[in-house]
Amino acid sequence: MPGPEASGEGLGGAIGFGVRPALIIIDFVNGFFYRSQYPAITEAAQHTRALLLAARAAGLPVVHTRIAYADDGSDCGVWTMKAPRLRRLTESSESSRFISSLAPEAGERVLKKKLPSAFFGTDLASHLIGRGVDTLIFAGCTTSGCVRATVVDAISHNFRPIVAIDCVGDRSASAHESNLHDIGQKYADLMTRDAVIAHIAGERRAAG
């Protein structure tokens, strides 16, 4: 399914799917769900469950990312000065563990990161290239933070980014909407979860 129509400013052109998609689930960890403080993120995670099951059924590569710092804070950088609560996401903390409904299964890659983009300082690009992946389907949080940063780096690595719009969430509705609009104009195709699932299922049927 193509992305939004190109605007009169030459933005919003369609990228479309390539031949080998993978699902990237960004930072759906307990720290963003305690006390239901961010309901939009909770809703996005609930929607992601069906997308994850569809990806598994189709045999797509799946990558789960989480932020995890050393327990002594020795690897915390400048980002944690701007957002001090991130320091709670330590390797041994329950806050940095994946929520149970989206827990990785055997064979799915778990990627630890220390900065917004899942590509920065990691082997994500080589991992995907080694599996012949050319298209990345994104779910996760937050839309304005780690999702956006990873999507921008994805297209910078020449992958085809697809954002499942009801599977990403943010702390504020305005940040979510404005960043999602900008992502769709410049960096990725925007699709509903059900449209992504339909495409995955169609490709699976076509492959026999």
- Cα 192 from Cα 15, distance rounded (Å): 15
Do residues 131 and 61 make contact, with C-beta atoms less than 8 angstroms apart? yes
- Cα 83 from Cα 173, distance rounded (Å): 19
13-28 residues labelled b (16+ CB within 10 A) or e (exposed): eebebeeebbbbbbbb
The secondary structure element, H or E, covering residue 79 is helix 79-82
Question: Which one of 76, 141, 146, 167 is the catalytic residue?
Answer: 146
- Cα 208 from Cα 30, distance rounded (Å): 38
146 is catalytic: yes
Positions marked catalytic: 146
